Structure 1
Amino acid sequence: MVSWEGLPDLGGVVDRVLATAQNGLEVLRYGGLETGTEPAPFAVVETRRMFKLRRYFPDEPSTGPNIVLVPPMMVSANVYDVTEHNGAVSILHRNGITPWVVDFGSPEREEGGLERTLADHVVAVSEAIDLIVEATGQDIHLGGYSQGGMFAYQTAAYRSSKNIASVITFGSPVDVLAALPLGMPAGLVAPAAEFLAERSFTQNLWVRDWMARTGFQLLDPVKTIRSRIDFLRRLHDREALLTREDQRRFLEADGWVAWSGPAIAELLRQFVAHNRMVSGGFVINGDLVSLTEITCPVLAFVGEADDIGQPTAVRGIVKAAPDAEVYESTLPVGHFGLVVGSTAGQHTWPTVADWVTWLSADGPRPDLIREMEYVESGHGGGVSLSSRITHGVGAVADAGSAYSREILGLLNSFQRTSIAVASESVRTVPRLLRLGQIQSGTRISLSKLMAENTRKHGENELFLFENRVLTHSQVDARINNVVAGLVECGIRPGQHIGVLMDTRPSALVVIAALSRLGAVAVLLAADADVREMMLLADSSVIVTDPNNLDLATAASDRVLVLGGGSGDSRSIEGADGDTIIDMEQIDPDQVEMPSWYRPDPGLAGDLAFILFSRSKGKLVPWPVTNHRFAMSAFGAASAAALTDHDTVYCLPPLHHASGLLTTLGATVVGRSRIALSNGIDPETFSTEVRRYGVTVVSYTWSMLAQVVRDPAFRINQHNPIRLFMGSGMSGGLWEDVCKSFPRARILEFFATADGSAILANVTGEKLSSVGRPLPETNPVEVAAYDIMRDQLLIDEHGYVRRAEVGEPGLLLAKARHKFDVNGTVLRDVFAARDRWEVSGHLFVRDADGDLFFLGSVDRVIKAETGPIFIPTINHALSRVTGIDKVVTYGIGEPGHQIAIAAVTLRPGVKADSLTATQLRVALGEFPSVLRPHLIRVVDEIPLSASFRPLSTVLLAEGLPKPGPRIWYRDEEGRYRRYTRTAAAKLDWAAAPVDDAIG
């Protein structure tokens, strides 16, 4: 007798095999199982070159709010209608919301589709919004999945939130480099993205739909393989498969479209390599845009297991859009599960409906949202290893122990550090090597460096001004046109040409054009004696802009006018084609270039620029060779670590060394963007920093006081500024800037008038220090110096003695390049046959080797008790609470001079709030003989064009009269009120005051 107990049901086995075969044949023939579901009804209400606009459920009246949904570039617009009942559009419709979807189509099938840029998509979404608002008369809610959400953010910023009730995104990264897919290091991905953007993706090289699908699946290969195995195992169970069949077919076949090459390149360059979603300053349709322009409410859906839109990257919207109310809703899903599937049907889309109702009809706040808080990268804000294991691998969940995570974290940290160090070396070492190889016959100049950048990165942005963007190629073309105009006006190589222009793109172009021609640019200051500067520079021609035309014509008989607009309607008063020539009326295409013209002929030893400084109250020309320019430019670029990821906000005038050498020069070497401003005030500063995406701010003297000390100054705490670089900042202002920008550092430069010494406080740690010489620039020494007698001090061997630590001395720079020597050169100084250039500036060195500026030799106040140093007094008093500006000057005969410090108070601070105790404490670290004899409060201290406090007016007043707002230093170094009685008892109060120093 045979027992059948325990044997399988043969009939059931046969049925399972037949069902598997039948279902498998259907999948092979049709690509999937027939589910019987129908897509939600829609009508295409508008067709344009870039998109079709769908309105879902068109036969039903639209009385409620409207939402526009934007797909990513690589995903079909049907992503919002994958399943019949749980699809986004159906759920929203059931909740009284009218859904609209922007359909970009498939680029390879659309006319011009493979030429589309990223900006084209943003402009298309903006046009769609206008169409819907015009049709409905209502503001809309704008939503987007993945990159579609990035488009939504960018569109809202591009429109300054006009007609947008809220922005809703699903797994859309903002701070892209904060958390990349699969934990890839930003230091490696950013340069790779830039390389691909520039070298690989064009309209002839694009990503096909199957490539996009494969790439998405490879981001989580375990999950992809497991899903396919699970599908095959259940192939016999049609009912079980049908519930997920629409979703599977969308992911496996129907849901993918191609990417156009230019759009990918722009995505990689702007939003991956440069991370400009968070820093600002990205370009849409020729306009500069920043997410800080978003002011409408934002709801971002975050996937705890999303390895594409990582939580940290998604939460970057908090710091990118500080003026928006930002909320989040978190789901335990991956990237696709945010918008499609059972969790999306139960959580995502009902929450979106509740959100829209809350904002549109004053309904209750949705239960599943909370205010978003930004978590800095590196603090657990990304997808954790446990989340990846739990939601992706499942079967090996216990592999993610804490010990393993710690090891992975250490390895990742080491990898990031190694890449950062290597990246910095790759940037810095070639610059310094090139600088060290420059000889007198080396061809190098400003214009040559700019031409090199154009050849390598012609389509990258260079100038940002008044919301306009100019690329390297556009600027290069403008330079060549100006060169043609200069030639037409008779300008020749080597000729000294005055430049009197405001800090605008035209001014930078003129300077570069003179360099390209081989002429010498004489940088003129509008607040100085222009005619005297022209005489000192042996120049007879001025290039100016319309704003400075009157000053130029008063100083020269031949003036060339450039900038300020062009065209037939342009009218330059007095232009006669001889004395005043309007260069904008010259057609460069009609200029026949002479046979002698050779672009960028400048050699290292050639004179490139003439700046001006003051010595003993007189203007002194400051000649700058191409080599001196290169030393400053390469050195500053290395010290500031400038790259093409930086946008440098150029505030100083170009006639100042900080404007020409350490801003323009360093920015060109770093291939950074140059942002120019029309003015310096808190509102302009805050607006342009966020609009341009400024990472580095250049300054001079007290320039930034007008910003950070204004009570109305407000700026996003997550602003992108990482560095302030310039010269002359006082100690008090330094502290205020650091308070306003705690994540930024200050890089203070110092360059001697002849350029022989270039110093920088690279660490930014020591207040008011100018640091040490930049690499590959001339070494320096502080020589012992008798300041009262103006002579170097000699040691027992007959050589000049080096100053001790803390001993004031004269700065000397080693003369290494004979072709660069402009000043006095001493030989056999510290050793036989050495050569040192005399700077004329006094310094003191601390125990660490850092230098502190004490002023030039001719600006030391020589009192009966010895020298008094102006910069140290200014720095100390500037740190007193309530003091705004400080200027120190001396009156009287050398050896009997009286040191006077004048201060102004900040707005709202009363004069009687400043006390003698504050003054004593501020100057307490100085011996009493180094403190000013008098300290006075004045109503105003004039500023130069470079924002340097001037003592000219105060000097003319002579010794101030006793009064309630003035203190004197007694014999013990304390400060007391300067009354008539006190003045009568002071011997120095009656001293002659004919000579003065300021």
Structure 2
Amino acid sequence: MVGLPGLPDISGAVERVVATAQNGLEVLRFGGFDTGTEPAPFTVVETEKMFRLRRYFPDTPGDGPQIVLVPPMMVSANVYDVTEHNGAVSILHRNGITPWVIDFGSPDSEEGGMERTLADHVVAVSRAIDLIIEGTGRDVHLGGYSQGGMFAYQTAAYRRSKGIASLVTFGSPVDVLAALPLGLPADLVVPGAELLADKVFSRLWVPGWMARTGFQLADPVKTARSRIDFLRRLHDRDALLPREDQRRFIEVEGWVAWSGPAVAELLRQFVVHNRMMSGGFVIHGDLVSLTEITCPVLAFVGEADDIGQPLAVRGILRAAPSASVFESRVPVGHFGLVVGSTAGAHTWPTTAEWVLWRDGTGEKPPLVEEMHETQDPHGSGVSLSSRITHGLGSVADAGAGVSRELIGMANSLQRTSRAIAQESVRTVPRLLRLGQIQTGTRISLGKLMSENSKRTPDKELFLFENRVLTHAQVNTRIDNVVAGLIQCDIRPGVHIGVMMDTRPSALVVVAALSRLGAVAVMLAPDGDVAEMMRLGNCSVVVTDPNHLDIATKHSDRVLVLGGGDSRAITSADGASVVDMEQIDPDAVRIPSWYRRDPGLAGDLAFILFNRARGKLAPWPVTNHRFAISAFGAASAAGLTDRDTVYCLPPLHHASGLLTTLGATVVGRSRIALSARIDAETFAAEVQRYGVTVVSYTWTMLRDVIRSEDFRINQYNPIRLFMGSGMPSGLWAEVVEGFPRARVLEFFATADGSAILANVSGDKIGSMGQALPETNPVEVAAYDVTADRLIVDDSGFVRRTGVDEVGLLLARARHRFDASSTVLRDVFVPRDRWEVTGNLFKRDANGELWFQGSVAGVIRTSTGPIYAPPIEFALSQVRGVDQVVAYGVGDPGRQVAVAAVTTRQLGERSESLTITALRIGLGGLPAEQRPHLIWVADEIGVSDSYRPIAATLARRGLPRPGARVWYRDAAGRYRRYTRTAAAEANWVGPSPTHTESSEVGG
């Protein structure tokens, strides 16, 4: 008999359908299954507007270590107690640690919750730490998941690690732009994040459901697979129960709203500006940097985490160089770091072991190791194999992973072209605006600052001594100072002296004078103030308390503004002193003649000073001249609102007023000011302010770079040094000390006819070429001895050849700016060129090299010698600190002298040898080398840090001695003895130089 085929198990199928229906109904009605689990017991020990502080297991004594856990803004505080026995608080408690959790609540149900800022959360965490320390008498361990870990880092920096035993973070990115979620390229994300911060989240908030959806979209394949797996097992309640608490938390219960201001601040500070890495983020008016974290750090790294990617998480190693940083790698994604079986077996037991180890009651955890710099600075840190191994191995997901890796490769290959495109986006509008300026165009410093205040009123502008001032605050201060000036009878067009330290009040005064339409005469306190006031045609001086004594000596009417060493303002004999801080701007009657920002391009805006042929000369700067420098420098430096410019030069120097202040205003960058220039202050403020660009003049950086005390985080955010006059030797050391930065050297003629910039920074010492949209320049053949241009057979002036010294000419395009001699029909018929009075030579690549001014040529009996090439060569000689070259004697019979100082090696000076001099000057023709080289005890510098040669020149020729060398007939250097001096028979002022010590030869 043939057997019948097996019949289907109908009863089993029916039971499965019924079970699915019953379980599905329960899920629909209650959001999930009732697992019977109970949350860990806790009590709320403190309730404040921003948070409730939970203490878990309140019935236990809690005499051991204390840890406070911080949730992300969008995740419920219950994230640390999702599963009854494997939750964070339970495991920590079982190990003798008292867990505390900060509950921010849901902003949409809290009073004022929708107005919360990111800084409010950090201050709340800091407040909670104080409460726990006050109640327990112990320092606390501070932990946080995802953005909660970012809060932990920020709080530790905000507190300078006070009261924090250690930091523990779980998937918390620090170098956000190094590895964004989903492998998205930063160049695409940053503009979008900036737009969202400024235009969307400043007005809207993120509800909880949207936060949940965003998290799930970060890994859509895994989300879809989890839901399908849940539906397939819906009939088997027992199989689903172990993961039900976790599923309900992710799918329904675990998400809270974000306040719009907090999201906007997160995007602006830590995505657009990446200030977790660079420093300079602002917490309730205080400037904060992660470099100020000194407590130990443990960072949990998810090997398959596509949100807090490993490379971004490991950024803490670079951001906090003063901390001991450890890591523990976990084979999970982002959420699995803190919830689930792996978290219960790895994350929380390791955290407990870490806390006990740091408290001295346990051994180092076996799953903790020191963090080391990643070997792949461009990848995300999440390998394709990790994604496949840890649950992302479907074909579709693998394809997505490969796509992300390919996107990263393409991004790397296109980095250069993208940078060029971005630079064009920033630069072209500036240059177009610059090119459209005509004589009657309204443009001035005051107007540019007004425009910025309207565009971005709440963004930071001035950073000084840990104070932060926004564009709106500065603009209000400028208007108040304008009212004070009006009260003091200052009118448009009047020349007003300004003698102030580089502080916010000084920048405000200069802007206020511009807004009023007056002319700011920038006085150098260490200069001939009386002569500057005469040449600047000013009788009234605005000063700060620090310079009040100098101001009252030279002016009988002084206006005092700003802080300083003292606010005790008293009238001097014969001088009228007005404390402008006592003027109530609201009580000032604004006259009908006042017009805000009236300055036209052709109007005089500032008067600076320089020396021409040994005499002090005024340097008039029109608004157009200011705009050329400001827009040109901003374009050359690529300044944006993501930059923080460290303004070190004094405002009476062109680099301070035009290059730094002007360029930062055009670039809408933050301006960081410093009260002093030394190695310790520089290193601290670069990180605290998040400085990306450092401005300088001459040897200003010498006391920083060459100080034995100089220590700075090698991952500092500086990308550029910009200024003028940096000696080549110091330039080389700056580039070596800051390998990720470049030097942008500017050169501007006194009349503003030519502005040059070494934009590439590749050639140390080069002045580069003319900035776009500024006057084109040419180097004309020039007979220095006869002081005339050289004409060729055609009757026109000849252009110089490669490496031939000639006179720099600038094409005269704007008649209202032409304050120098203008020549016509120079190279071709009907051309117009301004004579700059400066000598240059052009190399084979068209780069210009400064050879000095015509007045500064050392005129010897054998021909002209140029000082800058000598200083360029000697400044690079090993052991040389400072150098100046100058002429001694009457023109035509001058002796070329180079004075150098040597570097200090502890208690002694470094030796200088004849061999070193010969090698250093070997690139110069023998006839262009100095006749004498001597080692001076000191070379003075001006308050703009320019080495002063005039003082040494007035002292005459150096005496013969062990620290002096002379050039023989063959161009070699020998010791300068009395015999050699007698044989040379040089004519000059009586020698007065003496030597206080011997230098080895």
Q: What is the TM-score normalised by the length of structure 2? A: 0.97
**Cα offset, 1:788, TM superposition:** 1.2
1:954 and 2:952 correspond: yes
Specify the code of the residue in structure 1 equivalent to 2:881: D
- Verify the 8 A CA contact 1:432 1:635 in the aligned structure 2: yes
CA distance, structure 2, for counterparts of residue 421 and residue 253 of structure 1: 46
Which stretches in structure 1 are left out of the alignment for 5+ residues?
none
Deviation at 1:397, TM superposition (A): 7.2
Q: How many angstroms does 1:383 deviate by?
A: 2.3
* Matches of 2:355 and 2:899, distance apart in 1: 60
Letter in 2 for 1:927: P
Quick one: distance in 1 between partners of 2:391 and 2:443? 56
Cross-structure match for 1:859: 856
Larger mean CA deviation between 388-397 and 320-329 belongs to 388-397
Change (3 A) 1:690 1:867: same
Q: Are 2:712 and 1:715 equivalent residues in the alignment?
A: yes
Query: 1:637-786, aligned counterparts within 5 Å?
Result: 637-786=634-783
SS of aligned partner of 1:69: strand
Letter in 2 for 1:192: G
> Measured at CA, do residues 991 and 552 of structure 1 come closer, stay the same or move farther in structure 2, by a change above 3 Å?
closer
SS at match of 1:823: coil
| Amino acid in structure 2 at the alignment position of 1:741 | F
- The letter of the residue matching 2:731 is W
Aligned length: 992
Residue 918 of structure 1 pairs with residue 916 of structure 2: yes
Shift of the 78–164 alpha-carbon distance from structure 1 to 2, 3 Å rule, reads same
| In 2: Cα distance, 1:17 partner to 1:644 partner | 62
Q: 1:653 is matched by which residue type in structure 2?
A: P
* In 2, Cα distance between equivalents of 1:574 and 1:405: 70
1:524, 1:530 within 8 Å by CA — same for their partners in 2?
yes
- Structure 1 letter corresponding to 2:76: S
Q: Describe the shift of the 1:911–1:519 C-alpha distance in structure 2 as closer, same or farther (beyond 3 A).
A: same
What is the deviation of 1:196?
A: 1.3
- Whether 1:820 aligns to 2:832 is no
The question of whether the paired residues in 2 share the 8 Å contact of 1:450 and 1:668 is answered with yes
User: Is 2:211 the partner of 1:237?
Assistant: no
Kindly provide the amino acid, as one letter, of the partner of residue 201 in structure 1: F
CA distance, structure 1, for counterparts of residue 560 and residue 858 of structure 2: 44
Whole-angstrom distance in 1 between the partners of 2:889 and 2:991: 6
Deviations 1:923-964 (A, max 9, x none): 001111100111001111111000011123322221111111
Distance 1:830 1:639 in 2: 29
* 1-structure distance, mates of 2:621, 2:556: 26
Query: Quick check: 1:297 aligned with 2:296?
Result: yes
2:996 maps to: none
Deviates more, 1:380-389 or 1:955-964: 380-389
Greater displacement, 864-873 / 630-639: 864-873
Q: Does 1:901 align with 2:898?
A: yes
Using the alignment, how far apart are the partners of 2:653 and 2:884 within structure 1?
A: 20
In the other structure, the counterpart of 1:114 is 114
Q: Is the 8 A contact 2:959 2:991 kept in 1?
A: no
State the distance in 1 between where 2:884 and 2:182 align.
57
Q: 5 Å matches for 1:504-653?
A: 504-564=503-563, 570-574=567-571, 579-653=576-650
Deviation at 1:18, TM superposition (A): 2.2
2:886 matched residue in structure 1? 889
Please say if residues 556 and 575 of structure 2, whose CA atoms lie closer than 8 Å, have aligned partners that are also in contact.
no
Equivalent position of 2:137 in the other structure: 137
* Match of residue 264 from structure 1: 263
- What secondary structure, in the 3-state scheme, does the structure 2 residue paired with 1:470 have? strand
Shift of 1:5: 5.4
Q: CA, structure 1 residues 126+165, in 2 after alignment: closer, same or farther (shift >3 Å)?
A: same
The separation in 2 between residues aligned to 1:483 and 1:377, in whole angstroms, is 54
Contact 2:955 2:991 in 1 (8 A): no
Cα deviation for residue 272 of structure 1 reads: 0.7
Which deviations, in whole Å up to 9, do the C-alpha atoms of 1:45-77 show, x marking residues without a partner? Answer: 000000000000000001210100000000000
1:68 maps onto 2:48 in alignment: no
What displacement does 1:892 show? Answer: 1.1
Answer whether contact 2:956 2:989 (CA < 8 A) is retained.
no
Can you list the C-alpha shifts for 1:771-820, whole angstroms capped at 9, x where unaligned?
A: 00000000000011111111111111111111111100000000000111
Q: Given the superposition, is the C-alpha separation of residues 774 and 121 from structure 1 closer, same or farther in structure 2, using an over 3 Å criterion?
A: same
Q: Which residue of 2 aligns with 1:475?
A: 474
Q: Corresponding residue for 2:12? A: 12
Mapped to 2, the partners of 1:932 and 1:276 lie a distance apart of 49
Give, in whole Å, the separation in 1 of the partners of 2:991 and 2:902.
Answer: 29
1:893/1:995 contact within 8 Å kept: no
Give deviations 1:895-938, integer Å, cap 9, x for gaps: 11001111111112856821111101100011111001110011
Q: In structure 2, the residue corresponding to 1:755 is in which secondary structure?
A: coil
Paired with 1:787 and 1:703, the residues of 2 have a C-alpha distance of 32
What is the letter of the counterpart of residue 842 of structure 2?
Answer: R
Cα distance in 2 between the residues matched to 1:75 and 1:737? 46
Residues 385, 400 of structure 1: 8 Å contact kept: no
Quick one: distance in 1 between partners of 2:196 and 2:48?
30
Cα gap change, 1:949/1:806 in structure 2, threshold over 3 Å: closer, same or farther?
A: same
Residue of structure 2 equivalent to 1:846: 843
Match of 2:966 in 1: 968
Do the aligned residues in 2 keep the contact of 1:290 with 1:690 (CA within 8 Å)? yes
Kindly indicate whether residue 840 of structure 2 is the aligned counterpart of residue 873 of structure 1.
Answer: no
What is the CA-CA distance between 1:404 and the residue it aligns to?
Answer: 6.8
**Offset of 1:408 from its aligned partner?**
4.0
Deviation of 1:365 (Å)? 1.1
Structure 1 residue 200: deviation in Å?
A: 1.2
Task: Give TM-score, length-normalised by structure 1.
Answer: 0.97
> SS of the counterpart of 1:130?
helix
Q: Which amino acid aligns with 1:356?
A: V
Change (3 A) 1:745 1:417: closer
SS in 2 for 1:490: coil
Residues 1:716 and 1:992: Cα distance change in structure 2 (over 3 Å):
closer
What residue is the counterpart of 2:77 in the other structure?
77
2:106 and 2:947 mapped to 1: Cα distance? Answer: 62
CA RMSD of aligned residues (A): 1.9
Q: Match of 1:500?
A: 499
Superposed CA deviations along residues 652-708 of structure 1, whole A, max 9, x for unmatched, are 001000001110000000000000000000000000000000000000111101001
Is the CA contact (8 Å cut-off) linking 1:892 and 1:995 kept in structure 2? no
Classify the secondary structure of the residue corresponding to 1:270: helix
Alignment partner of 1:964: what SS?
A: strand
CA distance in 2, matches of 1:818, 1:413: 47
Change (3 A) 1:335 1:912: closer
The equivalent position to 1:934 in structure 2, one of 932, 935, 938, is 932
Residues in 2 aligned to 1:874 and 1:578: alpha-carbon distance in whole angstroms: 45
Q: Secondary structure of 1:357's partner?
A: helix
How many Å separate the matches in 1 of 2:782 and 2:391? 73
Pairwise CA distance, 1:205: 1.2
Q: Distance in 1 between matches of 2:438 and 2:762?
A: 35
CA 1:159–1:399 in 2, change beyond 3 Å: closer, same or farther? closer
Whole-angstrom CA distance in 1 between matches of 2:405 and 2:475: 51
Cα distance in 2 for residues equivalent to 1:121 and 1:525? 46
Counterpart of 1:463 in 2: which secondary structure?
Answer: strand
Indicate the residue corresponding to 2:999 in structure 1: none
Q: How far apart in 2 are the matches of 1:708 and 1:263?
A: 39
Mapped partners of 1:29, 1:89: distance in 2: 30
> Is the partner of 1:784 in helix, strand or coil?
strand
1:188 equivalent in structure 2: 188
Distance in 2 (alpha carbons) for counterparts of 1:663 and 1:85: 60
The residue number in structure 1 matching 2:458 is 459
Residue 25 of structure 1 aligns to which amino acid in structure 2? L
Counterpart contact for 1:180–1:186, Cα < 8 Å: yes
Q: What is the CA distance between 1:9 and its match in structure 2?
A: 2.9
Q: Which residue of 2 aligns with 1:943?
A: 941
Quick one: structure 1 residues 927 and 692, their matched pair in 2 at CA, closer, same or farther if it must change by over 3 Å?
Answer: same
